[in-house]
């Protein structure tokens, strides 16, 4: 559940804001911090060859690199309404924002997607507000969030932390949605590296019938996500609903030849959201903020990936 991440995220965030790690305005510019990876990783190496500790450090460093660069590029001082997503990468997004200092952030208001990002915003001393308080005729200037997987067209799978409905609400309320991730999340097709399945938020009473529909559509062993080890039974979202994880064969991109048993991203998303009992799906697809002027877009206008070699790769719409 999304809320289950907030204690761990807060401890990580507090660690990086401790005096030992705190950014100083007189030091190296914040977007250059950790410009080199902790581990000197080369293209000839495989992350599987690293120890668990080394691999974890490399991944966290790559997340931080991407977050700091994305904030540098897309958080303009004139912005006043900013969306903050959920997940481990967002810890570093908030860290990068806080590093700008009150002279920049005091005029900004930050809108979380769940309990984790709410606590991160408060711990950083940033101005907190909720998306239901944003007037209907207003839009967020920008929203930052992570992803479980990103394909070649910047379609996303999100919902690994069970916050997908709130994340989609905040993303579509923004003029610009910027995705921040590490190198493991970049795939040519959705469902290639993220094999746990597309997260689907569902009404509990409808879950058995939804499972049957998913199987009929070709989903490979869809399952209700368990709450274990912290909770017996199904995981419960911040909305009081359940999550079904529905694996499918890797999803086709636009223009690719159709193959038996494969769905195109837009086609599958349209079919899933029409199943009675499904509240929201973890496919972020369709238009981006450049195509849907004034909000309503699910896809990011840019995706930042911290790479294993210490660089940041940017994919733009």
Q: Which comes out higher in pLDDT, residue 1 or 71?
A: 71
| Whether residue 272 sits in one domain with residue 172 | no
Query: Strand order in 142-145's β-sheet?
Result: 127-128, 109-112, 81-84, 142-145, 177-182, 302-306, 312-316
User: CB–CB of 76/195 below 8 Å?
Assistant: no
With 80 as the cut, is the pLDDT of residue 42 above it?
no
With 60 as the cut, is the pLDDT of residue 1 above it?
no
Work out how many domains the chain is built from and give that number. 2
Query: In whole angstroms, how far apart are CA 120 and each of 12, 13, 117?
Result: 10, 7, 5
In a domain, 28, yes or no: yes
| Whether residue 85 sits in one domain with residue 171 | yes
| Whether residue 239 sits in one domain with residue 294 | no
Predicted structure pTM score: 0.86
What is the Cα–Cα distance from 195 to 71, expressed in whole angstroms?
29
What is the Cα–Cα distance from 66 to 47, expressed in whole angstroms?
18
Q: Which comes out higher in pLDDT, residue 285 or 32?
A: 285
In a domain, 298, yes or no: yes
Query: In whole angstroms, how far apart are CA 268 and each of 95, 115, 215, 257?
Result: 36, 30, 13, 15
In a domain, 120, yes or no: yes
Q: What percent of the chain has pLDDT over 90?
A: 77
Rounded to an integer, the average pLDDT of 69-97 is: 97
Per-residue pLDDT band for 288 (boundaries 50, 70, 90) equals very high
DSSP code of 59? Answer: H
Q: Give pLDDT, residue 6.
A: 47
Active site residue 167: yes
Count the neighbouring beta carbons within 10 Å of the beta carbon of residue 163.
31
| Whether residue 173 sits in one domain with residue 155 | yes
Catalytic residue among 167, 213, 262, 280, which?
Answer: 167
Q: Give pLDDT, residue 12.
A: 45
Cα pseudo-dihedral 312, 256, 164, 145, rounded to 10: 20
Q: Give pLDDT, residue 229.
A: 84
| Whether residue 32 sits in one domain with residue 128 | yes
| CATH for 93 | 3.40.50.1360
Burial 73-108 (b: 16+ CB within 10 A, else e): ebbeeebebbbbbbbbbbbbbbbbbbbbeeeebeeb
Q: Which residue has the tokens 């507000």?
A: 129
Rounded to an integer, the average pLDDT of 141-163 is: 97
Lowest mean pLDDT among 13-17, 41-45, 141-145, 169-173: 13-17
Sorted by sequence, the CB contacts under 8 Å of residue 222 that are 6+ apart come out as 197, 211, 214, 215, 244, 245, 246, 247
| Whether residue 174 sits in one domain with residue 80 | yes
> In 3-99, where does DSSP find H-type helix?
6-16, 52-74, 88-99
Average confidence score pLDDT of the chain: 88
| Whether residue 262 sits in one domain with residue 240 | yes
**Is the bond into 229 cis (omega within 30 degrees of 0)?**
yes
- Which range marks the domain in which residue 309 is found? 2-188+286-316
| Strand, coil or helix: 56 | helix
Q: Which residue has the tokens 């499918």?
A: 248
With 80 as the cut, is the pLDDT of residue 199 above it?
yes
| CA atoms within a 13 Å half-sphere pointing along the CA-CB vector of 38 | 14
| CATH for 247 | 3.30.70.260
Per-residue pLDDT band for 25 (boundaries 50, 70, 90) equals very low
In a domain, 193, yes or no: no
Per-residue pLDDT band for 285 (boundaries 50, 70, 90) equals very high
Rounded to an integer, the average pLDDT of 58-79 is: 97
DSSP code of 306? Answer: E
């Amino acid at each position: 559940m999304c809320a289950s991440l907030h204690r761990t995220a807060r401890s990580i965030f507090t660690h990086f804001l401790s005096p030992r790690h705190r950014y100083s305005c007189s030091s190296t510019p914040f977007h250059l911090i950790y410009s080199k990876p902790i581990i000197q990783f080369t293209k000839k190496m495989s992350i599987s060859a690293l120890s668990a500790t080394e691999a974890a450090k490399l991944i966290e460093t790559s997340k931080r690199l991407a977050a700091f660069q994305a904030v540098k590029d897309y958080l303009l001082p004139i912005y006043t309404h900013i969306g903050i997503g959920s997940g481990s990468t967002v810890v570093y997004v908030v860290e990068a924002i806080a590093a700008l200092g009150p002279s920049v952030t005091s005029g900004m208001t930050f809108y979380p997607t769940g309990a984790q990002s709410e606590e991160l915003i408060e711990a950083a001393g940033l101005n907190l507000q909720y998306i239901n308080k944003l007037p209907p005729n207003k839009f967020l200037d920008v929203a930052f969030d992570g992803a479980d997987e990103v394909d070649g067209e910047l379609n996303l799978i999100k919902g690994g932390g069970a916050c997908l409905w709130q994340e989609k609400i905040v993303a579509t309320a923004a003029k610009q949605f910027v995705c921040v991730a590490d190198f493991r999340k970049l795939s040519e097709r959705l469902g290639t590296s993220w094999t746990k399945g597309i997260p689907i938020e569902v009404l509990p009473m409808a879950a058995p019938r939804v499972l049957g529909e998913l199987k009929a559509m070709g989903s490979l062993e869809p399952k209700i996500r368990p709450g274990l080890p912290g909770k017996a039974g199904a995981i419960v979202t911040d909305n009081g609903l359940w999550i079904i994880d529905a694996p499918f064969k890797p999803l086709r991109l636009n223009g690719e030849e159709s193959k038996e048993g494969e769905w195109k991203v837009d086609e599958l998303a349209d079919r899933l959201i029409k199943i009675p009992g499904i509240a929201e799906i973890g496919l972020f697809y369709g238009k981006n903020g450049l195509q849907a002027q004034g909000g309503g877009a699910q896809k990011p206008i840019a995706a930042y990936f911290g790479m294993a070699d210490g660089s940041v790769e940017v994919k733009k719409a």
